[in-house]
Amino acid sequence: MKPREKTLLIIFLALFAVIAGGGLLALSLKSYLSIKSDNETFQLRVANMKASIAQGAQWQKRSDWLHANAPTWASREEASSKLLDVIQTEAQAAGLVLGNRELVKDPKTPEGDAAPHYFNQTSVKLTINSVTEKQLFTWLHALQKPTCFLGVTRLQITPLADTKTVNCEAQITHFYLESPATPRLTEFNNP
């Protein structure tokens, strides 16, 4: 082989080694970064799992409280009746006059009626006209106590321009357990 051919061959082999080595290095670096990222993700997941396990006792206490305090009614009609009574009682205490009251049917779940659920619920949609904000919010605050399992699930307040009053349309929902057994006495039962 001529010396020029040897030099050209050495240059070609060096260039080939640099290109192949660079490719392997880039592939190795990409693989290393991917493994490092996956490792960090798994470490975060393990940390979240450990935190969830550590909170198990706290969630068990919450579950025990829920089972001890959740109101139980024999039927939807009984729960609706109690809901209307409490709403009326609290409205009278706050000095409100309730307008239209309409029981709201349960929304259908995407899975249909056979979908499992923990709580049953009943809702009433009502209107209140020409009421001061203070009276309205006093009434809403009085309705929502932890042991009552009542919540305002929809609220639309419209201020009146000529006076310092508002019109309100609200949907109040009562969550309960349905059981043919006698209802447990809770704060909701004795307003």
pLDDT at site 46: 95
Each residue of 21-47: pLDDT tens digit?
Answer: 889 999 999 999 999 999 999 999 999
Compute the average pLDDT of residues 143-170.
88
pLDDT greater at residue 67 or residue 185: 67
Q: Which domain holds residue 13?
A: 3-54
150 shares a domain with 81: yes
Tell me, yes or no, whether 187 lies in a domain.
no
pTM of the full structure: 0.61
User: Which of these, 140, 22, 24, lies nearest to 91 by C-alpha position?
Assistant: 140
78 shares a domain with 34: no
Tell me, yes or no, whether 143 lies in a domain.
yes
133 shares a domain with 41: no
pLDDT at site 190: 47
What's the total number of domains in the chain?
2
Each residue of 113-137: pLDDT tens digit?
Answer: 544 556 788 999 999 998 888 889 9
Q: Is the pLDDT of residue 100 over 90?
A: no
pLDDT above 90: percentage of residues in the chain: 36
What's the whole-number average pLDDT of the chain?
A: 84
Q: Burial-class residue 55 by CB neighbours within 10 Å (0-12, 13-18, 19+).
A: exposed
48 shares a domain with 16: yes
79 shares a domain with 161: yes
Q: Is the pLDDT of residue 166 over 80?
A: yes
Contact status, residue 158 vs residue 190, Cβ threshold 8 Å? no
81 shares a domain with 48: no
Q: Is the pLDDT of residue 142 over 70?
A: yes
Tell me, yes or no, whether 98 lies in a domain.
yes
Contact status, residue 103 vs residue 122, Cβ threshold 8 Å? yes
pLDDT at site 161: 81
147 shares a domain with 108: yes
- Whichever domain contains 88, its CATH number is 3.30.70.60
Compute the average pLDDT of residues 6-11.
89
Count Cα atoms within 13 angstroms, Cβ side, for 88.
8
Q: Is the pLDDT of residue 172 over 90?
A: yes
Among the ranges given (10-14, 62-66, 87-91, 154-158), the one the predictor scored with the smallest mean pLDDT: 62-66
Confidence band of 191 (pLDDT split at 50, 70, 90): very low
Tell me, yes or no, whether 139 lies in a domain.
yes
Single-letter residue type at 62: R
